[in-house]
Amino acid sequence: MRDFFAKLLKSGAGTEVGVIEQVRFLRSDMAIVDGSWTITGMKDANGKPLPVLRDRGCEVVQRKRGRWRFVATREMVVWTPQ
């Protein structure tokens, strides 16, 4: 996922903003994270602006060797009519 979004954003596809809305710890090294993100400024192959892409997500994350890693993720893209 990281590589996909890095390529997407590097290509000039838009600007991404993510918001962590809630963190619930299952254990000291595992949590459920609810959040959302938005990508704006995307264009199609002809340079025409595309609609804003909104997404909601829920991730299970775990701390291993001092770093938080995704264990599972569920995303839901929310399209806003233009």
Residue-number span of the structural domain to which 6 is assigned: 2-79
| pLDDT reported for residue 16 | 82
Report the domain count for the chain: 1
| pLDDT reported for residue 27 | 97
Q: Is the pLDDT of residue 80 over 80?
A: no
- Which pTM does this prediction carry? 0.66
Instruction: Write the CATH number for 25.
Output: 3.10.450.50
What is the distance of C-alpha 55 from the center of its chain?
7
Contacts 24+ apart (CB under 8 A), 10-19: 12/43, 13/39, 13/41, 13/42, 13/43, 14/39, 14/40, 14/41, 14/42, 14/53, 15/39, 15/40, 15/41
Instruction: Tell me the pLDDT tens digit for each residue of 3-59.
Output: 666 655 555 567 888 999 999 999 999 999 999 988 888 877 787 887 888 889 999
Name which residue leads in pLDDT, 47 or 82: 47
Q: Is the pLDDT of residue 81 over 60?
A: no
Q: What does the alpha-carbon distance between residue 10 and residue 2 come to, in Å, rounded to a whole number?
A: 12
